[in-house]
Structure 1
Amino acid sequence: MAEQFEVRGWPVVRLASSMVTVDVLPQFGAAITSVRRTADEFELLHRTPWGLPSRGVPQLSGTAETERYDVDPGGWESIFPNGGDTVTVDGADQGFDGEARISPFDVVELSDTKITMTTRLRRSPVAMTKIVSLTDATVTVTETVRNLGTEDRDVMWGSNLQFGAPLISKDTEIDCPAALVHPDATILYDSDYEDAMPWPRTPGRSSVINLRYLPEPGSENRMAYLTDLSQTRATITNRVLGCAVTLDWDADPWPYLWYQLEAGGTDGHPWFGTGYFLSLTPSSSWPAHGLHDARRVSASALKLAAGEERTARLSLEISST
């Protein structure tokens, strides 16, 4: 049976195959806080400096975004039913990146290489099932959502992975078969979401940026939205380390990919100039500024009909180069 233990009061379930080991927190959004090679404990995911918050300890009040970072351990999280900036729907604040990422899940099935968990959201009439399974060097997350309400609902849905050092460095290359890259108009104020360029180019503050190659720490941050993918795949390769990570996911309901690099350009909260990690988020919608902008900017909000059930899959495979 899978190993079980506690970290700061939170139950952790450790799944392991011969090639990959994964730590899952059922009671904290069913988040994955670690993905590492079994043989040498090589960690792929980014962890925040403050780590997992202690369970039951009071938190400071703040904006939705500030509170989101206060309890963010890093890793691999579900984004649902809102992405990015919080919005109000049916009188309820949906939270920065949505409610699912911190919802308590019940474990309904468990083995050495698979865990099935379920929850019912409180601010939306939605039931969610999340399955994490391992096969050799591949981790697969399968999410199913069901609208329990009597009315159709617009949602944003995605899966956010934060990759950190040593995988992420100036030696890292990103590849994705995307046709277009849309800049984030809230970061580049002289750009518009429609100022799209062919992959891997996007506008920067002073010149065009190549998203394929990562800069050194202390560089300009990057945020962009990849659309018109011929295949819903992305690969992170660090040839110096001899390691590659390939993401493969369902185009329906996740046709887009958010690309965000914290390269040390955030001088204030929460990174104070020390952040350096790459976030990739297969998603139903864009931009990452809440449901209302997904409707207004790209008409990409996902409609979940009353009683409808939808399933999405994302696989991560580790390989050598």
Structure 2
Amino acid sequence: MNSRNYGCRITTDITIKGNRAVVMENQMLRLTILTERGTDIIELLYKPLDIDLMWRSPVRLHHKSDYISTTGNSLGNYLDHNSGGWQEILPNGGSECFYKGACLGMHGEISNIPWEFRVIRDEEDEIAVVFSVSTLRSPFRLEKRITLKAFESVIYLSEKLTNLAKEPMELMWGHHPTVGKPFLDETCMISTNAVKGFTLKPQDFKNQRLEPDSEFLWPLSKANCKTVDLSAVPPANEGTADMIYLTGFPKHAWYKVSSKKLGLSYGLNWDGEQFPYLWMWLICGGADGYPWYGRTYNLALEPWTSYSSKGLTGAIENKSALRMEANEVIKTELAFRVTECSPSSIHL
């Protein structure tokens, strides 16, 4: 049980569908974090309005041992167990690839393996937990401190990544928070201090609104000879599926998504020099076939060190891969905020 039933508090001895979890909460937020599943945040509840921001995939939460994949394909192995929420991804983003003799699977590998954790602060006014993981196929160690403070609807993240190898290593590193209903709808607007965006070739989805291998100034682009405002979220039945990359951030990078219907917004602040790319994954019923078969409505705005549709080897080719020297340590901080706002202040 947790140490208190008021103020900031932590619960560390529960399981959900067989998955061990840590629950962190204060008067404003409740986070449910799966420690056996890459510290996936499967619940991010804003208590005053009883709104859970996290997207729930049609692939319902289960324990991996309850479903043995019938394929050795890493895409299938990853998506078969992706129930939604917020994942952290390292050292490979996207497709399976080979690097320095190791096969790095889809979004491998820290989101697929158990993490250790320890509670370092447990007070009524503040709680903090350090989660840590050492990769298996790659020589990295990542420590992530998550902090909540009393009466604040802010999640503070402080991270330290170490290259344990005696040689330089290249990698991709990103945060993958995915939001869905009941927050997401056609009254939502996206704002950010990105400058420009682009798409890759070949395109990621057949129902993508933008042409492959195109560039634009945020937020306006061309699609089928029409101007598209990418800051406006389409309705759930639009039949579109977009994968867009934004960049041109200053050091103090940020985005915010605001719902006019709910009068609620969420946003993320991060170091735009360490994570210069924001992947925008927006599915409005248009992702046909495996694994969602047109059944999902979700938005993920993901800070990344790199971009590629071909995994780490593609990021090395386009020179966006993060390079760490032997024994190098990188530290960074992020903050996720939920705020109520006047619906009249949100322009559609």
TM range (shorter): over 0.9
**Deviation (angstroms), 1:222:** 1.4
Inter-partner Cα distance in structure 1 for 2:255 and 2:61: 28
User: Do the aligned residues in 1 keep the contact of 2:197 with 2:245 (CA within 8 Å)?
Assistant: yes
Residues 102-251 of structure 1: pairs in structure 2 closer than 5 A:
102-112=112-122, 113-135=127-149, 136-187=152-203, 191=211, 193=213, 195-204=214-223, 207-219=226-238, 220-230=240-250, 231-251=252-272
User: What TM-score does the superposition give when structure 1 sets the normalisation length?
Assistant: 0.93
Inter-partner Cα distance in structure 1 for 2:237 and 2:201: 22
User: Do the aligned residues in 2 keep the contact of 1:252 with 1:312 (CA within 8 Å)?
Assistant: no
Secondary structure of 1:100's counterpart equals: coil
Inter-partner Cα distance in structure 2 for 1:88 and 1:148: 19
User: Do the aligned residues in 2 keep the contact of 1:182 with 1:202 (CA within 8 Å)?
Assistant: no
Inter-partner Cα distance in structure 2 for 1:207 and 1:287: 27
Residues 56-75 of structure 1: pairs in structure 2 closer than 5 A:
56-57=65-66, 58-75=68-85
Rg (Cα) greater in structure: 2
User: Do the aligned residues in 1 keep the contact of 2:281 with 2:300 (CA within 8 Å)?
Assistant: yes
Q: Match for residue 296 of structure 2?
A: 275
Q: Match for residue 332 of structure 2?
A: 312
2:44 aligned with 1:49: no
**Deviation (angstroms), 1:32:** 1.0
2:45 aligned with 1:36: yes
Map Cα deviations across residues 240-261 of structure 1 (whole Å, 9 max, x no partner): 1010111101223111110110
Partner residue of 1:9 out of 14, 18, 33: 18
Q: Match for residue 277 of structure 2?
A: 256
Secondary structure of 2:248's counterpart equals: strand
User: Do the aligned residues in 2 keep the contact of 1:147 with 1:304 (CA within 8 Å)?
Assistant: yes
User: Aligned letter for 2:148?
Assistant: L
Map Cα deviations across residues 47-69 of structure 1 (whole Å, 9 max, x no partner): 11222232422233242222211
Please say which of residues 135-144 and 147-156 is displaced more in the overlay: 135-144
Inter-partner Cα distance in structure 2 for 1:109 and 1:147: 24
User: What TM-score does the superposition give when structure 2 sets the normalisation length?
Assistant: 0.86
- Percent same amino acid at aligned positions? 26
Structure 2 runs not aligned, ≥5 long: 4-9, 342-348
Inter-partner Cα distance in structure 2 for 1:119 and 1:267: 35
User: Do the aligned residues in 2 keep the contact of 1:224 with 1:258 (CA within 8 Å)?
Assistant: yes
State the superposition RMSD in angstroms: 1.9
**Deviation (angstroms), 1:110:** 4.9
**Deviation (angstroms), 1:234:** 0.4
Map Cα deviations across residues 267-294 of structure 1 (whole Å, 9 max, x no partner): 2111111110001110101134311221
Inter-partner Cα distance in structure 2 for 1:11 and 1:314: 25
User: Do the aligned residues in 2 keep the contact of 1:17 with 1:38 (CA within 8 Å)?
Assistant: no
Map Cα deviations across residues 64-118 of structure 1 (whole Å, 9 max, x no partner): 2222111112111111001111111122211111201112111122555321111
